[in-house]
Amino acid sequence: MADQTNFESHPAPLAYENEDFLNGPDGRPLRILAEYAEPLARFRREKIQDTVVFFGSARFRSRSSAEQAVELLARNGSEQPAPPSEAHRAKRAVDMARYYEDARRLAYLLTKWTLTLPGKRHRFVVTTGGGPGIMEAANRGAREAGGKTIGLNIALPFEQVPNVYITPELNFEFHYFFMRKLWFAYLAKALVVFPGGFGTLDELFEILTLTQTEKLAKKMTVLLYGEDYWRRVLKLDALVDAGAIAPGDVNLFQFVETPEQAFEMLKDGLVRNHLQSPPLAERHQPEIATTRPRSGRSVDEICKKD
């Protein structure tokens, strides 16, 4: 029998300090749970009651940045002019910069208004995916207004680096898309969708589907910013004509054209659905986990379960 007297005994690592376990397949349930529990703890600590979510392209620039790019292209010092396709994209970026500036303005107006609301908790906090483009614009406008602003970032091969305008305590980094999506819907009382690509369409239709199927125990104001753009992209009349959606489903959202118009429609929906005299028992709840919307459900029940 082998002599074991020369071997030292060391305690095994605690399970929650075992990085191989936590980062491996068996630790996946814990990682998923962490992306629910850790944001919830921060939202409680920062007294965030609810949000207004801005979606839109990560590729749109501010007007000054887009104009500078055109100017640099025009005087690049080369004997050969820039390819027509490159010049077209640069000029188109100037056109689309309108949406960056409008998102910035709308977030500013909304945040200035929310800062006048009574109560100890922060209402209707501007929230984005945390990256550049429209996301940066909305976080920037809210920051310029003096309010808190949330960025729900996710690691991607390109584009997705947290912008500098997010409130540091509310800057989140997600690994799982579905957990990030949960937090977009979880506290949102309104959604503003600026022109964008696949990601923007994905988020828009997810919220519309949850609303259409009554899986959200709250009323959600959904605004599509830029009617011409969205009517060219969305051919919803074809879905109605085919019977794939009900005629009333096209009323789940409204088109808006200016920051001022969008702000008035947001304010009207938020006041009517979420600020007007809830039952006495539902007022002044102390924490996110016990906050109840007008439906009488806690925040933990906002996304209904089957």
CB 134 within 8 A of CB 57: yes
Domain ranges of the chain: 47-62+98-274
In the chain, the percentage of residues whose pLDDT exceeds 70 is 77
| pLDDT beyond 80 at 262 | yes
Classify residue 239 as exposed, middle or buried by CB count within 10 Å of its CB (0-12, 13-18, 19+): middle
Query: Strand pairing partners for 55?
Result: 193
Calculate mean pLDDT across residues 21-44. Answer: 95
Angle of CA points 234, 238, 244, to nearest 5° = 105
| Residue 117 or 299, more confident | 117
pLDDT digits (tens, 9 = 90+) for 146-165: 999 999 999 877 656 899 99
The DSSP annotation for 135-162 comes to HHHHHHHHHHTT---EEEEE--SSS---
For tokens 């009382």, the residue is 189
Per-residue H/E/C for 126-137: EEECCCCCHHHH
| pLDDT beyond 90 at 122 | yes
Calculate mean pLDDT across residues 107-132. Answer: 96
Angle of CA points 112, 113, 114, to nearest 5° = 95
Domain 47-62+98-274 is found in CATH 3.90.1300.10: no
Angle of CA points 197, 100, 252, to nearest 5° = 55
pTM of the predicted model as reported, rounded to 2 decimal places = 0.82
Cα separation of 244 and 201, whole Å?
Answer: 18
Single-letter code of the amino acid located at 129: G
Q: Is the dihedral of CA 42, 45, 50, 55 positive or negative?
A: negative
Classify residue 198 as exposed, middle or buried by CB count within 10 Å of its CB (0-12, 13-18, 19+): exposed
pLDDT band at 284 (very low <50, low <70, confident <90, very high): very low
pLDDT band at 12 (very low <50, low <70, confident <90, very high): confident
pLDDT band at 304 (very low <50, low <70, confident <90, very high): very low
Query: Strand pairing partners for 52?
Result: 126, 190
